[in-house]
Structure formats: structure tokens, C-alpha cells
Amino acid sequence: MFGKKKTTPQIDKDQLELIENAQKRIKQKKRLYVHFVLFLIGCVFLIVANTVLNIAPDFKPFGKEWFLSAIILWLFIFIYHFFNVFITHKFMGKTWEKDQLEKLVAKQQNRIEKLKAGFVKEETVLAKSEAYNITKTESQNTAKKLGLTIIVAAAENDAIGLGNKLIWHLSDDLKRFKSLTNGHHIIMGRKTFESFPKPLPNRTHVVITRQKDYKAPDGVIIVHSLEDAIDASKSDSQPFIIGGGQIYKQAMAIADKIELTRVHENFDADTYFPKIDAAIWKEAANTFHKKDENHNHEFSFLTYIRK
């Protein structure tokens, strides 16, 4: 039951045809050979009939014994047969040639179709990889876009500063600012930069000013527009816009995320944060903090994403 299966030799259609043609050719040659032998025997017989058996001794076409004419005639027939086998039917006849031609054409067409299919496949792969690259670039752009983040603490009335100073002291807000911006580029207006006693550690400061000769400590990047500030931060996947009022106003149009600390009170101020348009921004996170010994005001950490 589980013995070896008997294998029968497989011959494909083309091979079978070749064998059939070879057989036909052998038969043709065989017939010619038989014809030749018959011709030789026939010649002997005709000579014997005419000269030995003396059949029709007076019949002399062209003035010669008739066996000569008979042999010459037969010789012509044999030559014609020979021609038929080796010259006229050398390539198995016209029908065979036509068949072969048609088969060759069909084979070539088949090949062309396969090549075409290959090209289509390659084109599809290429198109897919191009589409993949486009998608990749788009998602990279999106990631980059999502990285430009405004970070701000604003009162209920959007107050953010007074006399070039912050209005409140909220230690958890400062901690959050430090942890979010740590290791990143922080983009700011000249006035905000000057409100710091010294540059903040472990951050790359990018300061925007119209003053061409503005001097700043080593490591601080000075630029003359918000676009240049973003360009200077392009190595950073998440640069932060940290204020003040003028820079927030300009950055609202291009930022994709806002990390807002909303202080739940109204304050007198000279600098304000722009209104957050609910049609443009979607609230993504909201954490409330009560007043305590370290915090004189209630506040919430809010995250907004551009819709």
C-alpha cells in the first residue's frame, strides 16, 4: 500500500512531435532506399528480359535497345524521388514549415506576454514603494509638525505676564515645564529671554530679535524671525515655543500642539496669550490640580492638538 509509485516516463507534446517527425523522415528515407534496390533489381531484370530472354528485340526507341530507354526513364523517376526526399521535402514539406513557424510565433508571443507581466509586476512594486516613500515622508512631516509645541501658563483671562515677569509661582508647573522641555530647543522672544536670570540648563535656547548686533552668551542661537528659529531647531523632533506674548501670537498659526497650564483665576497683566479657538484646537488631555501649601492657585494641565 505504501510501496513506491511506478513512474511512467513523461514526454511533452513538443518532444512527441519531434519523434513523429523523425519517424516520418526515417520512413521517407527507407522508401527511397527500397526504391533504389528495386531500381537496381529492375535494371538487371530489364537487361535480362531484353538481351537474354530476347523480349521485343526489334523494339528500339531512339535506335537503341528498349531496356536502355526503360532504365533511363526509371532513373529519372528515381532521381525525382531522391529530389523529393532530400531537396523538396528536406524540411518536412510546406505544411510542416508553416506549423513550425506558427509554433515559434506563439512561443515568442508567450515570452513577450511573460515579460510584459514581469514589467507590470515591477511597476506595481515600484509604484508601491514610491507610494510607501510618499506616505513615509508625509508621516515624517506630520511627526515634525506635531513636534512644534507651544508651552504656556495662562490665567482664565489669558494673562501671562506683567512687567516682564511671570505673575504666579506654581512649583508643579515649573517641574512640568522642565521635564517637557528637557533636552529640546526652546524658542523665545528677546524679552522672555531677558526675563531669565541665566540660560536654562540642558536646553538649546533660540532667541528671536530684530537687533542685528544682539549679544548673548555662548550656545544661545540668535535669529531674526520665527521661521529662522524653526529652521535652527530642525534637528529637534519637538522644539518648544516658550513665549512670550508676541511670539505666541505669531506661533499660533503654525504650531500643532499646545501644552497649557490654565490657572483658574483672573489676573492683571500687560501680556496675554491668544484665545484658543475650539474650531482649530482639540482638547486631548486635562488634569486638574487643587490649591495646596505649594500652590496658591487652582490650575489644570491641558493638551491641545491642532484638528
Ligand X SMILES: NC(=O)c1ccc[n+]([C@@H]2O[C@H](COP(=O)([O-])OP(=O)(O)OC[C@H]3O[C@@H](n4cnc5c(N)ncnc54)[C@H](OP(=O)(O)O)[C@@H]3O)[C@@H](O)[C@H]2O)c1
* Contact call for residue 28 and ligand X (CB under 6 A): no
Give me the least distance between CB of 237 and ligand X, in Å please.
Answer: 22
Angle, nearest 10°, between helix axes 66-83 and 13-47?
Answer: 170
Query: What kind and span of H or E run contains 262?
Result: strand 257-263
Query: Binding pattern to ligand X, positions 114-133, x when CB under 6 A?
Result: --------------------
Candidates 160, 186, 255, 276; binder of ligand X (CB under 6 A) is 160
Task: Please give the torsion angle defined by the CA atoms of residues 23, 25, 26 and 30, in that order, rounded to the nearest 10 degrees.
Answer: 140
Candidates 149, 189, 205, 262; binder of ligand X (CB under 6 A) is 189
* Contact call for residue 253 and ligand X (CB under 6 A): no
Chain CA centroid to CA 272, Å: 50
* Contact call for residue 224 and ligand X (CB under 6 A): yes
Amino acid (one-letter) located at 1: M
Nearer to ligand X, 21 or 209 (CB): 209
* Contact call for residue 245 and ligand X (CB under 6 A): yes
Calpha distance 244→11 (Å, rounded)? 87
Chain CA centroid to CA 131, Å: 7
Nearer to ligand X, 212 or 307 (CB): 212
Calpha distance 75→46 (Å, rounded)? 13
Q: Specify the stretch interacting with ligand X by CB under 6 A; choose among 77-85, 113-121, 130-138, 185-193.
A: 185-193
Q: Specify the stretch interacting with ligand X by CB under 6 A; choose among 22-30, 35-43, 153-161, 288-296.
A: 153-161
